A and B are shown apart, each in its own frame.
Chain A
Amino acid sequence: MALESIGQTAKVELPRPRGLTGVVADWSSDQRSFKSASWGKAMMWIFLVSDTFIFSCFLISYMTVRMSTTVPWPNASEIFALDIGGKRIPLILIAIMTFDLITSSGTMAIAVNFAYARQRRMAALMMLATAFFGATFVGMQAFEWTTLIREGVRPWGNPFGAAQFGSCFFMITGFHGFHVSMGVLFLLIIARAVWRGDYDRGKPGFFTGRKGRYEIVEIMGLYWHFVDLVWVFIFAFFYLW
């Protein structure tokens, strides 16, 4: 396949100016504005910007609703507490979940590194580990939802205070959990392809007939780190506020 159609050129590039002049030079040049980014990577970055706006709208709506509601908001540290050994420990589950998700970001970064080093077995294993941490996160979220539902929290109301608490909680964590689940799914698909060595042979991936390349691991990583980052904001605004 011609080089023009994969968004990357193999020819040695002349040194380009650095800093602000470099930005201006790149944007006033022909062919590509982001010189080092392939089509797929550029697309993921732009998608993440758009997705940021979706999560921002969700979180800002939640803040607005929380501030304008007529009934007091339930106390987060009381509701998100678990009975362990006869003691109620506030926010313990969320702390574990956050730790779990951030760990998965670490394994993802290692996987990207191994993928570019062409150590496909290690890369695939690290992606599996990432998928495992992701699945564990979703599992703990399911546990959290079950516990809250048992205590009587529903999207339309709850015994602790403003009805919007349940609405926002299920909607936002649900939307984020959906992102994590999709991420786990694609991690497994890509890990399988890496394990089989598809990208050494350039076998096309999904959504395209073009040659598959190890860069897909990094693109996957971008998405995964984004989902983690969003969780940090949800954690801060929902559980700590």
Chain B
Amino acid sequence: MHGMIMVVYMLTAIFLGGFGNYLIPLMIGARDMVFPFVNMLSYWVYLLATLVLAASYFVPGGPTGAGWTLYPPQAILTGTPGHEWGIILMLSSLILFIIGFTMGGLNYVVTVLQARTRGMTLMRMPLTVWGIFTAAVMALLAFPGLFVACVMLLLDRTLGTSFFVPAIVEMGERRDYSGGSPILFQHLFWFFGHPEVYIVALPAFGMVSDLISVHARKNIFGYRMMVWAILAIGVLSMVVWGHHMYVSGMDPLFGFFFAVTTLAIAVPTAMKVYNWVVTLWRADIHFTTPMLFALGFLVTFVNGGITGLYLGNVIVDVPLSATLFVVAHFHMVMGIAPVLVIFGAIYHWFPKITGRMMDERLGKIHFWITFLGAYAIFFPMHYLGLLGVPRRFYDMNDATFVPHSAVGLNIFMTTMALFVGLSQLIFFYNVFKSLRHGASAGGNPWRAASLEWQTPETPPGHGNWGKRLPVVYRWPYGYNIPGAPDDFVPQNAPLQKGEHAT
């Protein structure tokens, strides 16, 4: 439940559903998404999906305890909590989510491809839009795997088909299943599951690029390479799913193939990291709250990415598999890093959404607690993983291979997690306080060049742009151009004398 809610219902929904819907039309100069009604339908279906999922707390047996991977046969057999109703509701909810997402995803893709304003070429779009667009395309291709897996698992659970369950003895009794293949589920699940990581990460990459560029008052370094890197990551991430299954048993040649593709993703990803760092090089960095969160992302993402290189290698992965090292890795790279971006993005775009600034002092306190707290929680976890502490156990009894000091670390991590969790109340307090009492923001408080800050009204009125759509003359990173009157040039300001179009 925790994993599924976080990855699908929170991260995917906020990045694509939330920021996608808000930022795409503003950033490409459209009045709305191309099919607003379908979009609304997508939201209601999503809400229904979350309600169905939440309902599983109130049914006999409670929510499913199968983890976010829902591996059969375990997920649907007795002994797993929630095997009566929880798993059925989880699978139904996912099917609903995918139907809802498909409606929204089609909208994002078509809006970006077909509804841009005059002058807005693909290569003049902010990287945020590139990230969300690529993620939406990937989601449309990857969610089918999960959809099919859910339908088949649901049939296994309710009608007693044997897609995924082999002949099996349970509590000393032979069940009616026979001849199914649990590995098939893993393939279908991870065909979705791995692209899902990048469905979350690519919008985060895009937003971080924009945040860094705005708050460092410098154009993003290597914009075109950034775009191609996003696309390369998108393509590669569709062919790496096998690295989640090294210990499920696979032909060594396949293991080799998946290890190569997995490590190949490090190339475009590292390129992006270098470009972010080079953008910061000798820049006029403003340590605003959004910038702090963006820099926090850089650190945690590099950290989580490097442990990913360990796990991508078959021989290193096999001993580390199913230990806390894996948990620490994916929480660092896919939990903390995107969540920091979400916070940064909210601090950054809040003035556009509400017309008011958020409190900087509270924001900085929030950042430091969250950032340092995340390290306090997850850094020791790497060490525990190397000791061999397995994941998913809440009590190790007298496991002799784990030294007693591990218990102390566990208690420390738990305390920190509770503390960091509680301190998020600062953020919510800040949001609600700033909503009423925040300082007035004006149209463009960060003095940003991209199109969403150039709306005639703040917050943007119905139809975003007033009577006439804006016309775009340059890319969204026009900062500190020599000879320009200001240190930024908006995308929709006409070309100056002698200026080359970018």
Contacts and interface: CB of A to CB of B under 8 A. Distances in A.
A71 B148 contact: no
B179 A34 contact: no
Contacts of B141: 49-50, 53
A155 B160 contact: yes
Contact of A7 (B114, B123, B181): B114
Contact of A46 (B120, B140, B181, B472): B140
A40 B184 CA distance: 36
B152 interface: yes
B331 interface: no
Interface stretch (A23-31, A82-90, A184-192): A23-31
Contacts of B143: 50
Contacts of B117: 30-31
A54 B116 contact: no
Interface in B163-197: 163, 167, 176, 178-181, 184, 187-188, 191
A32 B116 contact: yes
Interface of B is mostly: helix
Contacts of B161: 155-156, 163-164, 166-167, 171
Contacts of A70: 167, 178-179
B122 interface: yes
A34 B140 CA distance: 19
Contacts of B160: 155-156
A28 B123 contact: yes
A58 B179 contact: no
Contacts, number: 139
B119 interface: yes
B476 to A, nearest CB: 14
A4 interface: yes
Contact of A54 (B37, B118, B144, B155): B144
Given A33-B122, A163-B179, A167-B162, A50 B140 contact: yes
B147 interface: yes
A43 interface: yes
B184 A28 contact: no
Interface stretch (B105-113, B250-258, B445-453): B105-113
Interface residues of B, number: 52
Interface string B149-162: 10110010001111
A164 B163 contact: yes
Interface of A is mostly: helix
Contact of A39 (B110, B176, B187): B110
A196 B116 CA distance: 35
A28 B120 CA distance: 10
Interface in A20-69: 27-34, 37-39, 42-43, 46-47, 49-51, 53-54, 56-58, 61, 64-65, 68-69
B31 interface: yes
A119 to B, nearest CB: 29
Contact of A208 (B35, B148, B155): B35
Interface string B130-144: 000000000011011
Contact of A156 (B105, B119, B140, B162): B162
A5 B31 contact: yes
Nearest to B187: A64
B51 interface: no
B414 interface: no
A207 interface: yes
B178 A54 contact: no
A64 B163 CA distance: 10
Contacts of A53: 140-141, 144-145
30 contacts: A5-B31, A28-B121, A28-B122, A29-B121, A30-B116, A30-B117, A30-B118, A30-B120, A32-B113, A32-B114, A39-B34, A39-B35, A39-B110, A43-B34, A43-B107, A46-B110, A46-B140, A50-B140, A53-B141, A54-B144, A56-B144, A57-B191, A61-B163, A68-B181, A70-B179, A156-B160, A164-B180, A207-B35, A208-B37, A209-B37
Interface of A: 4-5, 7, 27-34, 37-39, 42-43, 46-47, 49-51, 53-54, 56-58, 61, 64-65, 68-71, 155-156, 162-164, 166-167, 171, 175, 207-209
